[in-house]
Amino acid sequence: MALAFERAAGVKFNHIPFAGGGPSVTAILGGHVNAVSVSPPEGISQVQAKKLKIIALFAKQRLAMFPDAPTVKEQGIDFAMGCGGDWRPPRELLRKSSGYSTMLSKRGWRTRFSSRMPKTCP
């Protein structure tokens, strides 16, 4: 997502690979990086605790769960990607990964995931 935004915005980032959103959030909280691009489940707790601030959303319009966070489009960059909501992984991924299928089938995981994502795609 960050690479696509980089191209749309006409900027260049110094990409630092992490093994997922959790480690990237840990890195920004520790002051090791200046910004991260993560989905709501990976950063919502820190945003709610006011440890992180959202500077822009990649959604088409503002999200109800983050009413004060502007979209990149509102800030003059014609870009939108992703939105959460009723997300489903690609079928091919489910066929290739039995562990992923097992995780998604557990009721508790779905509840936690759903509570941390926007309810609808704008």
DSSP letters, 31-75, are TS-S-----HHHHHHHHHTTSS----B-SSS-BTTBTTPPBTTTT
The more confident residue out of 41 and 30 is 30
pLDDT tens for 82-105 read 654 444 555 655 565 666 667 666
108 lies in some domain: no
Please count the structural domains in the chain. 1
120 lies in some domain: no
62 and 71 Cβ atoms separated by less than 8 Å: yes
| Domain membership of residue 25 as a residue range | 2-83
Residues 53-73: what's their mean pLDDT? 89
49 lies in some domain: yes
94 lies in some domain: no
Among 4-13, 19-28, 74-83, 98-107, the range scoring the smallest mean pLDDT is: 98-107
60 lies in some domain: yes
CATH code of residue 37: 3.40.190.10
8 lies in some domain: yes
**pTM score, whole prediction:** 0.62
